[in-house]
Structure 1
Amino acid sequence: MMKLFTPIALAVTLSLAAPQAHAAASASIAWQEAAGDSDVDKAFAQARGEKKPVLLYWGAKWCPPCNQLKATLFNRQDFIEQTRAIVPVHIDGDVPGAQKLGTRFKVRGYPTMILFSPDGQELTRLPGEADAPQVLKVLQLGLAGGRPIKAVLADAKAGKKLSANEWKLLSFYSWETDEQQLVPVAERAGLLAQLAAASQGVDGETTTRLWLKTLAASDDGKGVKPDKALGDKVRAVLANPAESRLHMDVLTNGAADIVKTLTPAAGAERKALVAAFETTLKRLEADATLSRADRITALIARVDLARLEVAPSELHPKLSAGLVNEVKQHAARADREITDGYERQAVITSAAHVLGQAGLWKDSDELLKASLTKSHSPYYLMSSLGGNAKKQGRKDEALKWYEEAFNKSEGPATRLQWGSGYFAALTELAPQDAARIEKTAAQLFSEAAQDKGSFYERSARSLQKVGGSLAKWNANGQHDAVLARLKSQLDGICAKVDAADKQRETCESLVKAPAKKG
């Protein structure tokens, strides 16, 4: 699941309440494409010279949330105008050198948006899950503040006085894409609880948002325990249309986790809270001021709540006939009405997912198949078809879709990611097909050798997934000969990998040599 501005621009006020008309076809963000350190250094040199902040956007062609940004934020005239006063930098995760830049900026998940000061200090990470007007508002807050987010957080933890805008920036910070820059994942919920308590008296919106984020991050019992006062606060937000709309992104994305945190066990109390959420989520789903992606997220949350007492592996949950019918109608309406390619990639994939969650597997498959020719990244949909088939035990069909998705995927990082998914399915669903498994692993290693960024970030994790699948497949040593050949191939590749940044070490750790017998 990230912006900035100059002092003069801070005086500009924009209307953020109503959706803006799409920019004219000739108007667009003047992204500076970056594929390596020199490109980024050039952008920061320009920023220092012009005293402008830098907005870095890290994304990928296939990524549904990235396409959502393109459909709802990057095409807004007000956003485009704001970017005139910043240096906007785009890193496509599939260009050569992109994954190395990912290491430099500590970015992994697509999309990530980071706002930097002209001298390169990270001011904040923007919340890609918030709706466009909120993102614009947070952008202006980041531009107005001017202090690095680490300094703001340090002062908040030390009990020092922060401005109302700095508290708001903390509440809107993209903790989901933090990548442990500010706090380890295991400590995130506790930190959010600390911030929520410390923000009391600043403004209701900020404190409420921090508590909601705390609850959404605390489903494992860490950060905050069930509390009547917090439960009452959540119910008050749910009952207030204006407040629930304001915190829509947290309520829809975190509904199930919030409910599990406040009501750890099934019973009357949980049932009442789910009913309150249901009313709010239905209202958000029908809210025409929200994007279609946000509205279907509200529907997904309703299904998630309806499945709370259902085993995650249950393919055909006993949901109410009314909810199942709504899911079917919502998906059909989205398929019928959406013509924009970016929006389709963002919404249709979600629609197919929620159809499956509701037990409508045939409808999910049909929607995905019908959308293949309408998608600029059909391999993403093919992977979803593979996942559907795998869940239903159709092994051959699952492998067919996973393989086709890999074959059709584009870009070095994407191919390694899709290839590792296909390989994992292959070793799990067809472990007897040693020849096919060896051939696929060898192909992935060969492709990795062609890209200098293969042992950084997402690409490295994809290759580590391949190595893990190989180790599991050969747990009993029955395929030692295959692993020996693959290890030999990899040794030749690793010898040519730069030893800096531990990348050669990453390469050499992918496949362990079979233990000598005897």
Structure 2
Amino acid sequence: MKPTFPLSVLRASALALALAAALPAAHAAIDMPAGVAWQAASADSDIEAAFARAKGEKKPVLLYWGAKWCPPCNQLKATLFNRTDFIAQSQNFVPVMIDGDLPGAQKLGARFKVRGYPTLILFSADGQEITRLPGEADAPRVLKLMQLGLSGGRPIKAVLNDARDGKALKAGEWQLLGYYSWDTDEQQLVSEPLRAELLRRLATRKGVPAETRTRLVLKGLAASGGTGEAASQVERATVAAVLRDPKQARVHMDVLTNQAVDIVHALYRQTGTERDATVAQLQRTLAALQADKTLSRADRTSALIARVNLARIDEPKGSLNPKLDPALLAEVRGLSTRMDREITDGYERQAVITAVGHLLGQAGLWTESDALLKSNLAKSHSPYYLMSQLGSNARKTGRVEESLSWYEQAFAKSEGPATRLQWGGTYFKNLIELTPNDSARIEKLVSQLITEAAADKGAFYERSARSLQRVSDQLVPWGTGANAPVLARLQAQLGGVCAKLDSGERSTCDGLLKAKKG
């Protein structure tokens, strides 16, 4: 049964649809669900226009950074951006969308310190960052957090500084801090090596609401993953309480499903009966989440992935054929069949089928993973993502030529300048590792990547710059001896590209394809 909504919400939805229809043709091509008047941005001028509008209308700005192929981005499109209440809420902020493959988008990524897809940032009208929203949480939770930020939330840096200093925070501020998207923080608030310690320390502050305290404990343990201080008795008791309480488990399901193994490693440095009992309880909790139909299909799939990962926690890392209970394997097969049959939305299919393909591989069901991914190539709006998964499957199971064929096809089918550099870099990595003597193919591919980078005004920023750096890091040591002429030719080609860039981009470009000093 479809939910009913107040007339005011329906009117707001209609207005949002009308605004979307009135956007310029270039914006109408944005790959987003209909209903929200997203403003596409690929240059500083687009951002300045959005914030000018925000100031004029006295509204915050919601910035979404994503990509067409990205499974978690597609999950947001399937579960959050298409919601009637989100569409209605969009009247209270200026929605800005940066697709990482828009021309110049990666340069904007450097401006906002965004890398991982997806990232959701709520800004005040004057450009201060109120919070980064946890896209991995379920849609109703994200909406509640967004509403907290919209209702006059302070910049998250100020909130964190007060928390560190032991100052009193409002309950809503603690909630925004506890549910802050630490995974997309990009060291804005704290450097990654210090994150676990910070979260665990914040959980001990006076005045922290119970739910937020639990959240901070779970995220802190997950971030530590078994490094740093051993888990305290309070932390162990907190985790045990969550696992015993279905309501608490539901609230924190994203941490439990995505970081179950990390939490176990943080709680117990060694195997033993106590650890086994916790793993067994965690398995039961995850099974209940997997069966919870109020959760999205992607979240229920994540719960089963976590169960498989827990079942193989003592297996050698990278084991291709883990010893799993036949009943668990039957659940994996059943979920795979059911998801493939039930899903009709293209965004949801990209989010879920890619996860199921991974799940089948984790369970050692490689043939079934291949079959699922191949059968979905024609159904995916970004088949190159699935092709890369097929390439990974083939490489892990020793099918070298098949692996390279899939990576080559994935690169050929990939779309968008940043995505093509990333997929080309992946193809290169496998090519140079699996067939290092194929200098002709290696040179041809790198030459093509340099040519494409020259045509992309965002190639020497953020994700694209890192894709090129990874190629450089492997190509330079390879380019010695008989391969030295190949490297020399590619260096000359790149030098011509670098010479045409401005000083900011040129420094990055000039550092490529050269041996690192020291």
* TM-score category of the 2 structures, normalised to the smaller one: over 0.9
CA contact (8 A) 2:123 2:130 kept: yes
Asked whether 1:213 is paired with 2:219, we answer yes
CA distance in 2, matches of 1:285, 1:334: 13
1:493 matched residue in structure 2: 497
2:158 matched residue in structure 1: 151
1:370 matched residue in structure 2: 375
2:443 matched residue in structure 1: 438
CA contact (8 A) 1:487 1:513 kept: no
CA contact (8 A) 1:33 1:90 kept: yes
1:511 matched residue in structure 2: 513
Give the secondary-structure state (helix, strand or coil) at the position aligned to 1:114.
Answer: strand
1:481-509: CA deviations, max 9, x gaps? 11000000010000011112xx2111111
Give 1:473 deviation, angstroms: 2.4
Give 1:477 deviation, angstroms: 3.3
1:407-448: CA deviations, max 9, x gaps? 000000000000000000000011110000000000000000
In the alignment of these two chains, the number of paired residues is 491
Asked whether 1:176 is paired with 2:183, we answer yes
Counterpart among 245, 255, 258 of residue 260 in structure 2: 255
Query: Which AA in structure 1 matches 2:493?
Result: Q
1:279 matched residue in structure 2: 284
Counterpart among 186, 204, 208 of residue 202 in structure 1: 208
2:29 matched residue in structure 1: none
CA distance in 1, matches of 2:481, 2:319: 34
Asked whether 1:68 is paired with 2:75, we answer yes
1:168-187: CA deviations, max 9, x gaps? 11000000000000000000
Give 1:324 deviation, angstroms: 1.0
Counterpart among 399, 403, 426 of residue 408 in structure 2: 403
Query: What are the equivalent positions in structure 2 for 1:263-342 lying under 5 Å apart?
Result: 263-342=268-347
Give 1:225 deviation, angstroms: 1.5
Give 1:377 deviation, angstroms: 0.1
CA distance in 1, matches of 2:516, 2:177: 49
1:482 matched residue in structure 2: 486
2:430 matched residue in structure 1: 425
Give the secondary-structure state (helix, strand or coil) at the position aligned to 2:132.
Answer: strand
Query: Which AA in structure 2 matches 1:491?
Result: G
Give the secondary-structure state (helix, strand or coil) at the position aligned to 2:361.
Answer: helix
1:101 matched residue in structure 2: 108
1:50 matched residue in structure 2: 57
CA distance in 2, matches of 1:380, 1:280: 31
CA contact (8 A) 1:484 1:514 kept: no
Query: Which AA in structure 1 matches 2:201?
Result: Q
CA distance in 1, matches of 2:182, 2:362: 27
Asked whether 1:230 is paired with 2:235, we answer yes
CA distance in 1, matches of 2:150, 2:204: 26
2:94 matched residue in structure 1: 87
Query: Which AA in structure 2 matches 1:202?
Result: V
Give 1:227 deviation, angstroms: 2.2
Give the secondary-structure state (helix, strand or coil) at the position aligned to 2:377.
Answer: helix
Give the secondary-structure state (helix, strand or coil) at the position aligned to 2:160.
Answer: helix
Give 1:164 deviation, angstroms: 0.7
CA contact (8 A) 2:428 2:445 kept: yes
CA distance in 1, matches of 2:477, 2:262: 32
CA contact (8 A) 1:115 1:122 kept: yes
CA distance in 2, matches of 1:186, 1:45: 37
1:434–1:514: structure 2 CA closer, same or farther, 3 Å change rule? farther
Query: What are the equivalent positions in structure 2 for 1:377-416 lying under 5 Å apart?
Result: 377-416=382-421
After TM superposition, the structure 1 stretch with the greater mean CA deviation from structure 2, 209-218 or 464-473, is: 464-473
1:131 matched residue in structure 2: 138
Query: Which AA in structure 2 matches 1:127?
Result: P
CA distance in 2, matches of 1:32, 1:226: 45
Give the secondary-structure state (helix, strand or coil) at the position aligned to 1:75.
Answer: coil
CA contact (8 A) 2:217 2:238 kept: no
CA contact (8 A) 1:72 1:132 kept: yes
Query: What are the equivalent positions in structure 2 for 1:445-484 lying under 5 Å apart?
Result: 445-474=450-479, 476-484=480-488
CA distance in 2, matches of 1:55, 1:347: 26
Asked whether 1:114 is paired with 2:121, we answer yes
TM-score (norm 2): 0.93
TM-score (norm 1): 0.93
2:196 matched residue in structure 1: 189
Give 1:202 deviation, angstroms: 3.1
CA distance in 2, matches of 1:258, 1:357: 19
1:351 matched residue in structure 2: 356
CA contact (8 A) 1:145 1:166 kept: no
Percent sequence identity is 64
Give the secondary-structure state (helix, strand or coil) at the position aligned to 1:373.
Answer: coil
CA contact (8 A) 1:480 1:514 kept: no
1:75-95: CA deviations, max 9, x gaps? 000011001111000001001
After TM superposition, the structure 1 stretch with the greater mean CA deviation from structure 2, 226-235 or 101-110, is: 226-235
CA contact (8 A) 1:296 1:350 kept: yes
